[in-house]
C-alpha cells in the first residue's frame, strides 16, 4: 500500500503538528536546534513549536526569545513557555501538551538536531488510523571523543533497542510523535518520574488505549553522546533507575546483576584474549582504537545501571497520572 507524505498533500489536509521541546540549561545546543526546526520541510502553516523552559539558570531564556523573534520574522509559529512547578522534563512536556493546538504532538529534546525532513517523515505513518504513536530514529551526532565512539558502536540511543523491549515496544521522547487525543484517553506523562516516563506512556497508550506504535526510520534526529566517563555513568545510572520505576509500575523484570565471578571472568577474558587481538588488529589498521576498551566500558555501564536499580525509589507521587 502506498500513501502520500504530508508534503504531497494539500496544506489543508496535512495534520496540524505541535513540536514540544523541554529545555533546562540548553544554551549550548539551542542555536543549532532552532535553525533545524525553522528549516523543517513540513508546511509552516500547519506547524507550531513550543519551547518549555524548566527553570534554566543560564542564557536559555534569552536564546528562546531570540528564537521566537526569528520564527516570527519568517512567518512561523513559535512560543517560549516557562514551567517551574516540578523539575522534570516530563512535567515540562505536560505543560506544553496543555498549550498545544496540534492534532499531532511531536517531541524532541534540547540536545537533539532533527533532519530537515524529520517532521515530514515522522507524521507520514499517521495516515493509518490505527497508528497512535510514531517513533523516529535517533542517531549519534558525529563526535571524535572515544566515549562518544563507544556509545555509537553500541548504538546506545537507537530506537531499535527500545522498540524491541521484551515487555512492550516504546519510543524515546527524543523522537516521538503522538496523536493529541491519546493524552485525553490515557492521561499525560507522569510528571514526578525522572526517567522511564516515555516507556510508561507508550505502554499505557498501547495496552490501555489499543493504539499501534509505528517506526519511521527516516525520521531522524541526531543526539549528542556523553563525552565524559562521569556523564556515561550518570546516563546508565538513570537507565537503572528507569528499570526500577518500570518494575514497580508495570512489573517488568529487572536486569540481572553480574556476580563477582562473572566480572572477574569478563575482565580476565578481555585482558588475556580480547585486548591482544584488538591491539594487533588496530596496529594493522584493521580495527578501531575503541575496540581496545569495549569490555571495560561495558562493565562500567553495567555497574552504573545496577546501582541505579538498587538505589532508585519510586516517588509516591509518581503513581498519579494527570488528565488532560
CATH number at residue 180: 3.90.550.10
User: What pLDDT, on a 0 to 100 scale, did the predictor assign at position 6?
Assistant: 57
User: What pLDDT, on a 0 to 100 scale, did the predictor assign at position 4?
Assistant: 47
Q: How far separated are the first and last CA of the chain, in Å rounded?
A: 35
Assess whether 172 and 58 both reside in one domain.
yes
261-273 core/surface letters (b: 16 or more CB in 10 A; e: else):
eeeeebeeebeee
Which single residue is written with the C-alpha cell 545510572? 237
Q: What is the pLDDT of residues 52-73, one digit of tens each?
A: 999 999 999 999 999 999 999 9
Assess whether 86 and 162 both reside in one domain.
yes
Quote the cell numbers at residue 135. 517513533
User: What pLDDT, on a 0 to 100 scale, did the predictor assign at position 5?
Assistant: 53
Assess whether 278 and 131 both reside in one domain.
no
User: What pLDDT, on a 0 to 100 scale, did the predictor assign at position 170?
Assistant: 97
Assess whether 64 and 126 both reside in one domain.
yes
> Domain end: 196, 227, 258, which one?
227
Neighbours of 98 (CB within 10 A): 13
Domain-located, residue 171: yes
Please give the average pLDDT of every successive group of 10 residues along the chain, which has 324 residues.
49 87 95 96 97 96 97 96 95 98 97 96 97 95 82 87 95 97 97 95 97 97 90 95 97 94 94 92 86 94 96 94 90
Quote the cell numbers at residue 46. 500547519
For the chain, what is the domain count? Answer: 2
Assess whether 187 and 60 both reside in one domain.
yes
User: What pLDDT, on a 0 to 100 scale, did the predictor assign at position 70?
Assistant: 96
Range of the domain at 181: 6-227
User: What pLDDT, on a 0 to 100 scale, did the predictor assign at position 3?
Assistant: 41
Amino acid at each position: 500500500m502506498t500513501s502520500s507524505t504530508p508534503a504531497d498533500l494539500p496544506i489543508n489536509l496535512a495534520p496540524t503538528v505541535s513540536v514540544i521541546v523541554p529545555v533546562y540549561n540548553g544554551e549550548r545546543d539551542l542555536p543549532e536546534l532552532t535553525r533545524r526546526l525553522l528549516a523543517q520541510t513540513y508546511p509552516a502553516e500547519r506547524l507550531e513549536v513550543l519551547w518549555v523552559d524548566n527553570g534554566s539558570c543560564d542564557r536559555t531564556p534569552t536564546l528562546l526569545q531570540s528564537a521566537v523573534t526569528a520564527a516570527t520574522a519568517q512567518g512561523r509559529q513559535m512560543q517560549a513557555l516557562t514551567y517551574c512547578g516540578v523539575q522534570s522534563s516530563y512535567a515540562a512536556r505536560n505543560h506544553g501538551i496543555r498549550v498545544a493546538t496540534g492534532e499531532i504532538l511531536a517531541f524532541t529534546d534540547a540536545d537533539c538536531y532533527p533532519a530537515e525532513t524529520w517532521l515530514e517523515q515522522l507524521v507520514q505513518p499517521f495516515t493509518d488510523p490505527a497508528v497512535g504513536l510514531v517513533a523516529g530514529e535517533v542517531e549519534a551526532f558525529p563526535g571524535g571523543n572515544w566515549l562518544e565512539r563507544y556509545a555509537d558502536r553500541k548504538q546506545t540511543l537507537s530506537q531499535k533497542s527500545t522498540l524491541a523491549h521484551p515487555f512492550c515496544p516504546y519510543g524515546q521522547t527524543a523522537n516521538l510523535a503522538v496523536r493529541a487525543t491519546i493524552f485525553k484517553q490515557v492521561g499525560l506523562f507522569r510528571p514526578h518520574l525522572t526517567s522511564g516516563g516515555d516507556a510508561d506512556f507508550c505502554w499505557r497508550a498501547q495496552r490501555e488505549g489499543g493504539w499501534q506504535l509505528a517506526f519511521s526510520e527516516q525520521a531522524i534526529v541526531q543526539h549528542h553522546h556523553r563525552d565524559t566517563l562521569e556523564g556515561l555513568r550518570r546516563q546508565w545510572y538513570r537507565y537503572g533507575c528507569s528499570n526500577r520505576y518500570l518494575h514497580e509500575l508495570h512489573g517488568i523484570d529487572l536486569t540481572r546483576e553480574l556476580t563477582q565471578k562473572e566480572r572477574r571472568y569478563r575482565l580476565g577474558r578481555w585482558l588475556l584474549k580480547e585486548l591482544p587481538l584488538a591491539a594487533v588488529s588496530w596496529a594493522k589498521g584493521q580495527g578501531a582504537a575503541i575496540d581496545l576498551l569495549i569490555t571495560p566500558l561495558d562493565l562500567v555501564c553495567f555497574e552504573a545501571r545496577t546501582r541505579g536499580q538498587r538505589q532508585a525509589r519510586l516517588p509516591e507521587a509518581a503513581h498519579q497520572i494527570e488528565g488532560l
